[in-house]
A and B are shown apart, each in its own frame.
Chain A
Amino acid sequence: MANLNIKSEEANTYGAIVIGSGMSGGFAAKELCDKGVKTLVLERGRSVVHNKDYPTTNMLPWEFDHKGQIPEDIQRENPVVSRCYAFREDAAHFFVKDKEHPYIQEKPFDWIRGYQTGGKSLLWARQVQRWSDFDFEGPARDGFAVDWPIRYKDLAPWYSYVEKFVGVAGYADGIPQLPDGDFLPGIELTAVEDYFKGVVEQQYPGRNVISGRCAHITGNAEYYAKQGRGICQHRVLCQRGCPFGGYFSSNSATLPWAARTGNLTLQNDAVVHSIIYDEGKGKATGVRVIDAHTKEMTEYYAPVIFLNASALNTNLILMNSTSSRFPNGLGNDNDIMGKYIGFHNYRGGVSGEYEGLGDFTTEGKRPTSGYMPRFRNVQKQETNFLRGYAAGIHGTRAKHVSYDGLGEDLVNNISSAEYGSWHIGSHMMGETIPKETNYIALDESQKDEWGMPQLRVNVEYDQNDEDMIKDYREQVSEMFDAAGFKNIKTWDDERRPGLDIHEMGGVRMGHDPKTSLLNKHNQLHACPNVYVTDGACMTSTSTQNPSLTYMVLAARAVDHAFGNS
């Protein structure tokens, strides 16, 4: 018996365990495998193999039963995920349905999840802007959360490293608050965006409009061929999975790369219950895993554990990892785990029309659009709210057909089109202030199908967010007006927190074990062989789409754990 146990323990022992195969877990796995570490990646959802399991990827628009729309009964049963812009007939199979994985909304919160190999990396919006010291120094300067234990210089080489592997299209724009990276050829702005850029940069010093840097391959084809990926063909059907591997996902890039080293074991349907803490050794020794189908529990062991289960699930796993040393969750000596949750405020929008540039249109499609880096409170505090917002800027030449009439008139109307004016739209991406009162916790009695405690989510907007929305609407409207745009409309769509799909925090980084959970290398202060390098680690949110920074932190943490071995 004893022998058998030792044998199974040996069989279940790895050099490292990575919990989660999404954006950051995939990158951690690739780095570990490249360093020769036998790595077990645990993915709670089903297997999705690049190109093999993209059932809709080559479907033509007319081949969808509902031409893209989600049927009413599915929407009624799944109100949360139905609010996500990408939950459409072509990609619905990559989203978690509300009922299958319940959670408790103490306050309204849309938790959008992707439980499969690659997680949400299949579905992301692919915008990859670097952070700068204006972001890392924010909490210390403005007196919220705690000081980040890292600065831009700590991440800069890792940004370059990750960008090169991912493939990032962009221009060197020379903007202090949005550092340039190692870019492939950029994708140009549309005529109206470029015109707006000129107006803004001339009339509003310190404000810029750029082409959003995006994780798409636009050059260096030979290098990416080694990953089995090709140049982006601008299908802009990314959410289905890309047959060319044109955009970055764990499925197309990091996981197959890791697999080719021979060091990767990827286990699907593996719901992590908790991390095993050995009090004698004073460290984590492994992970308890529930088989999603049989519900049987198995233990896996490794000297180093990477936790990349997605921000809120990483919190859940740690809070569920209790022992007599850590009765409130692994590493949670200060009882702040699950608190200081942040997200991005996407509520504001502005649109307008431009009658100029009438002789021009665009040709082709593009996987990105214009972007205004944060311009509020960058160098110093100058408004009645803290921090600021970035803004998406997307301008297209309208083309209209008339739907008037019936019979031959109607058929004629819809078979010919004419140009309208240029349409320009914007949405805000606001930094939120992580607060103790925005928290998640485990419910004491309600469990899911796998016996895991359900998460209680208690996250809401505050007055700072409201003031920022007001300022965004005023400022962007004013800039649109300055550019001569007409018919300017502005709105607050009052979306719930979470729909930004940029939830962060709960296991924040910091200098001091009394006020933070992770050190500057993303190790739990109180259990340093556990690294948390997904959204849970974020001390503040900045305005930039966060995935790139998660991958950077993951790559850097692997280097810390295993050096140049």
Chain B
Amino acid sequence: MNRRLALKQLALAAGGIALIPSCTFSEEEVLTAYDELEITASDAEQLQAVIDTIFPKTTLKGGVELGVDQFVLVMANDCLAENEQQQFVKGLKGFGSFTKENFGTSFTKMDEAERKTHLQSMMAGTEKKGEQQLATQEFLAITKKFGLQGYMKSEYYMTEIMPYQQVPGPVFIGKKKIDASEKVNING
């Protein structure tokens, strides 16, 4: 209940974000919905941009529309071990400056193609990395993992893409001939 209320407040806060100049970044209020993360509305906006790149709107609904970015924050706040959480926050908070330093433009100012290319390069690679680079990689890996969970457990995905039946009924067929014309449903 509190969580849902908090999410609504976040949505309102995020709506007002455009008015805050980036130079006042450090003075922003911490979002109370994510007390463990101590992140600001700008951080949440940064994450939203990442989710929008990982799960863009296509002929299918995009991650932002499904609230996947908010779900990632809920999970990062509630379901991560402390060390992972620290890496997540470090990667998220430093994401703007890290991308600017490494690619000349901060992530939110890139066009969609650039965002995708650079996200891919930041997520890949096993070579020795700097501290912030590692945090960035971990932040993105966690974001993708929780993002997938949020997308694939969304009402949209579980009703329109891979329909889930809460009450399948008493029939169970242990050996059913596969009909090649039928879509394979992971929730079927």
Contact = CB atoms under 8 A, between A and B. Distances in A.
Contact of A406 (B53, B149, B174): B53
Contacts of B58: 408, 411-412
A61 B173 contact: no
A233 B123 CA distance: 44
Contact of A65 (B3, B119, B161): B3
A34 to B, nearest CB: 29
Interface stretch (A188-196, A498-506, A510-518): A188-196
B79 interface: yes
Contact of A407 (B81, B116, B158): B116
B148 A193 contact: no
Interface string B153-188: 111011001101011111111111110000111101
B107 to A, nearest CB: 13
A73 B144 CA distance: 22
A72 B56 contact: no
B172 A364 contact: yes
Contact of B75 (A66, A73, A408, A412): A66
Contacts of B60: 411, 415
Contacts of B151: 414
B172 A366 contact: yes
B186 A363 contact: no
Interface in B86-124: 116, 119-120, 123
Given A62-B154, A235-B168, A411-B60, A359 B185 contact: no
B79 A72 contact: yes
A61 B156 CA distance: 11
A191 B79 contact: no
Interface residues of A, number: 51
Nearest to A189: B174
Contacts of B79: 66, 69-72
* Most chain A C-beta atoms within 10 Å of own C-beta, residue among B120, B175, B183, B186: B175
Contact of B174 (A73, A190, A231, A418): A190
Interface in B58-90: 58, 60, 62, 71, 74-75, 78-81
Interface residues of B, number: 51
Nearest to A360: B175
B171 A364 contact: yes
Q: Is the interface of A mostly helix, strand, loop or mixed?
A: loop
A273 to B, nearest CB: 37
Contacts of A188: 172-175
A406 B170 contact: no
Nearest to B1: A65
Given A232-B170, A362-B174, A417 B186 contact: yes
A228 B125 CA distance: 60
Contact of A231 (B170, B177, B186): B170
B168 A234 contact: yes
A218 interface: yes
A215 to B, nearest CB: 15
Interface in A345-365: 357, 359-365
A66 B78 contact: yes
B74 A406 contact: no
A363 B173 contact: yes
B168 A407 contact: no
Given A403-B148, A406-B119, A411-B60, A363 B54 contact: no
Contacts of A187: 172
Contacts of B184: 399, 416-419
Interface in A364-420: 364-366, 399-401, 403, 406-408, 410-412, 414-419
B30 interface: no
Given A67-B149, A233-B169, A417-B162, 20 more contacts: A60-B155, A67-B153, A71-B78, A71-B79, A73-B78, A188-B172, A231-B170, A233-B170, A361-B176, A363-B172, A364-B169, A403-B144, A407-B116, A410-B55, A411-B56, A414-B151, A414-B157, A415-B60, A415-B157, A415-B162
Interface of A: 58, 60-62, 65-67, 69-73, 187-191, 193-194, 218, 231-235, 237, 357, 359-366, 399-401, 403, 406-408, 410-412, 414-419
Closest 3 CB pairs of A and B: A191-B175, A71-B78, A417-B184
28 contacts: A60-B166, A65-B3, A67-B150, A69-B79, A71-B79, A72-B78, A72-B79, A190-B175, A193-B174, A194-B174, A218-B170, A232-B170, A233-B170, A235-B166, A235-B167, A357-B175, A360-B178, A361-B176, A362-B174, A363-B171, A363-B173, A403-B148, A406-B116, A407-B55, A411-B58, A411-B60, A414-B151, A415-B162
